[in-house]
A and B are shown apart, each in its own frame.
Chain A
Amino acid sequence: MSALSRPFLPVLVRREHASLPVKLIAPPVALALATLLNLGLYILMGRDPVAVFHAMLLEPFLSWASFSEVLLKTGPLLLIAQGLAIGFRAKVFNIGAEGQFILGAIFASAIPIWFPQATGQWIWPSMLVIGALGGALWASLTAFWRVKLNANEILVSLMLALVAAQLLNYLLLGPWKDPNGFNFPQSVMFQYDAMVPILIPGTRVNVSLLVACAFSLGAWVFMQRSFAGYKLQVGGLAPRAAGYAGFNEGRAIWLSLLVGGFAAGLAGAAEVAGPLGQLQRSISTGYGYAAIIVAYLGGLHPVGILFSALLMAALYIGGDNAMVSANLPVAAVRAFQGSLLLAYLVAIAFVRYRLEWRHAAHGSTP
């Protein structure tokens, strides 16, 4: 009857047990599939596929200089994705992490912009804390709209991300514009004490990578070992059962969004207090959206996300390389990201299902 049960097409048959090997092999298979598809696209565009492949997927790992840049980009992706994955497991789809990231950056920047003369080792830690709170505050709007007004959190969080981008523009073109900045939409450069200390000498990798790793450990303990994390997961897998067990849905939504906003805000703060050293229009290159892909590709598991964040960071650096050496537009990274998530979603279908070829008359039985 339907398209998929016609005799000449294989059908998906539910497995008795979810397959762990497939789950582990799905991300690399998805990466291979997405790579093949995108190389095909580059050939159609008249680029040399070998050169692009080398620049995009190998070069980031071939020198310490570029690998340290990969580590630098891993920090924010890891933080945001760990926060998002907690919500996704509870089926709370916060897709506005980009906005929470921007608010984190804005809140953190308030300290050095309002107190440019301040000195002392307290400045950068308080920037991180205030940034994280700013992100959580922005996310709390979505939580309120969802819990109190029953509004869809996907749409509200995304709209708030678009508003956040305009708010950033407003600050950088207006009150927070550097008066000596030749009219560029950027703030003053921050003082030395507003910068997160460097972690690995000779690189730009700073202490915020440690913060991201600590947050990952916290996420692992919370999701895999705590009762509160268990309640969240039950709420996501079986909302009705969670209701009967007396698990509060509203609390799960608040928790998911606040944790996601906190992590994204922290990442935004670490970005302005780290590699950038000022508030700029281009503080985020789509980290909030890329982190959604990182979270899924890591199987929404804290350990898996460690690997997928590193991979996504390498893709960013590789995309920059390919722009320089193979003349590939930087938008190619976005197309790659999208196809990577699609390939992964296809690959994990085989965790729960297997393909079966049915012959002849079976096609018409319901």
Chain B
Amino acid sequence: MNAVEFVLAGMLAAATPFLLAALGELVAERAGILNLGVEGLMALGAVIAFIIVYQGGGHLLGFLAAGLASAALSLVFAVVALGFRANQVATGLAIGILGQGLSALFGKSFESLTVKGLPKLSLPWLSDIPVIGGLFTQDIVVWLSLAATVAIWAMFAYTKTGLVIRAVGENPKAARALGYPVIAVRFAAVAFGGALAGFAGAYAAVVYTPLWADGMIAGRGWIAIALVVFGTWLTSRIFLGACLFGAVSLASLAAQTTGLDVSSQLLSSLPYLVTIIVLGVISSNRRLLKLNGVASLGEPFEQ
């Protein structure tokens, strides 16, 4: 297997934690809420899923519990930031620190243990194509994440729910005047985002690298937040961005296996450096950000 095939085959799996977390953050941000706690939400989901799978509860239960736990923690964010109208930046940071602390606390006695991942499912015919065939051999969660991406894209493009979420994020006062329950919609969007962050963490801990290590999320939650900006709040571009980051994290692996003489620390910081550079490139195009940005992102709403 050459490097290109290796990256193509593994890209989607590597992208999945980024993709799920970024889609969740997208829904929250579209509703006007900036939740910076994604890293902590992912860490909590990861440890919950790992403990359940390790104890023999199975992957399905692990994912469900991870989604529930992270949704619950994101509701704490919602109560403080929306209920008590606290600064969203500070509240998100607090949730992030709390989530990472809880994850380290719960995971203490599972450090360095491993579980079994999920089997890969191949699409017939497509997976036999040379070079790109690897793209069509993925585990069930990757396939479901792709379906979720399409569903969220369709929700914003075609459904009333999507419109209501966007109205609440663009102009909450007008949405309120039209009779939409602004705070309730925002609570729901935050909880949905939390659940997806939990799934993202679960995928990282029990499927992608099925072993527990404190700090294993390693900035992926923050990159997911950056992905929403990269994607200029559009589902399709966020998907492309997640694939890019999946490929970047794999490319560093591939470089190591082919014996390129680059220090492993440089390779580990590659995703962060790429984030910084892309963030600079995209953000300097102010028109692009204004065009698709969310008008009242991060601002508290008082009725």
Chain A residues at the B interface, C-beta cutoff of 8 Å: 1-5, 12, 14, 45, 93, 95, 145, 148-152, 154-156, 158-160, 162-163, 166-167, 169-170, 173-174, 289, 292-293, 296, 329, 331-339, 341-342, 345-346, 348-349, 353, 366
In the complex the two chains form, is B98's CB within 8 Å of A338's CB? yes
In this complex, which of B93, B225, B266, B280 has the most chain A Cβ atoms within 10 angstroms of its Cβ?
B93
In the complex the two chains form, is B182's CB within 8 Å of A338's CB? no
Known: A345-B91, A349-B84. 7 other contacts (CB 8 A): A160-B272, A160-B276, A162-B218, A166-B268, A166-B272, A296-B90, A331-B104
Chain A positions within 8 Å of B179 at CB level? 1
In the assembled complex, B105 has its CB within 8 A of some CB on chain A: yes
In the complex the two chains form, is B94's CB within 8 Å of A345's CB? yes
Chain B nearest CB from A160 CB (Å) reads 7
In the complex the two chains form, is A166's CB within 8 Å of B181's CB? no
Interface stretch of the complex, out of B124-132, B239-247, B281-289: B281-289
In the complex the two chains form, is B85's CB within 8 Å of A349's CB? yes
Chain B positions within 8 Å of A154 at CB level? 36, 89
Contact with A along B100-114 (1 / 0, CB 8 A): 111011001000000
Chain A nearest CB from B292 CB (Å) reads 15
Contact with A along B26-48 (1 / 0, CB 8 A): 00000000001000100000000
Instruction: Say whether chain B's binding surface is mostly helix, strand, loop, or mixed.
Output: helix
Q: A342-B94, A345-B90, A345-B94 are in contact. Are A334 and B104 (CB under 8 A)?
A: yes
Interface residues of B in 38-89 (CB under 8 A from A): 40, 76, 80, 83-87, 89
Q: How many residues of B contact A (CB 8 A)?
A: 59
In the complex the two chains form, is A170's CB within 8 Å of B263's CB? yes
In the complex the two chains form, is A155's CB within 8 Å of B94's CB? no
In the complex the two chains form, is A145's CB within 8 Å of B104's CB? no
In the complex the two chains form, is B283's CB within 8 Å of A337's CB? no
Chain A nearest CB from B138 CB (Å) reads 28
Chain B residues at the A interface, C-beta cutoff of 8 Å: 36, 40, 76, 80, 83-87, 89-91, 93-102, 104-105, 108, 176-177, 179, 181-184, 187, 214, 218-219, 222-223, 225-226, 229, 263, 265-266, 268-269, 272-273, 275-276, 279-281, 283-284, 286, 289, 302-303
In the complex the two chains form, is A155's CB within 8 Å of B89's CB? no
Chain A positions within 8 Å of B85 at CB level? 12, 349, 353
In the complex the two chains form, is A341's CB within 8 Å of B90's CB? yes
Chain B positions within 8 Å of A353 at CB level? 85
- From A144, which residue of chain B is reached at the shortest CB distance? B280
Partner of A332, one of B95, B105, B263: B105
In the complex the two chains form, is B94's CB within 8 Å of A338's CB? yes
In the complex the two chains form, is B279's CB within 8 Å of A156's CB? yes
> Can you spell out 11 A-B residue pairs with CB atoms less than 8 angstroms apart?
A2-B303, A149-B281, A156-B276, A159-B222, A159-B272, A159-B279, A166-B266, A342-B94, A345-B94, A346-B80, A346-B84
Chain B nearest CB from A155 CB (Å) reads 5
Partner of B226, one of A155, A173, A346, A348: A155
In the complex the two chains form, is B219's CB within 8 Å of A162's CB? yes
Chain A positions within 8 Å of B102 at CB level? 335
In the complex the two chains form, is B95's CB within 8 Å of A342's CB? yes
In the complex the two chains form, is B76's CB within 8 Å of A166's CB? no
Chain A positions within 8 Å of B286 at CB level? 150
Partner of A170, one of B226, B266, B272: B266
In the complex the two chains form, is B302's CB within 8 Å of A14's CB? yes
Chain A positions within 8 Å of B95 at CB level? 338, 342
In the complex the two chains form, is A366's CB within 8 Å of B98's CB? no
Chain B nearest CB from A172 CB (Å) reads 10
In the complex the two chains form, is A335's CB within 8 Å of B94's CB? no
Chain B positions within 8 Å of A333 at CB level? 101
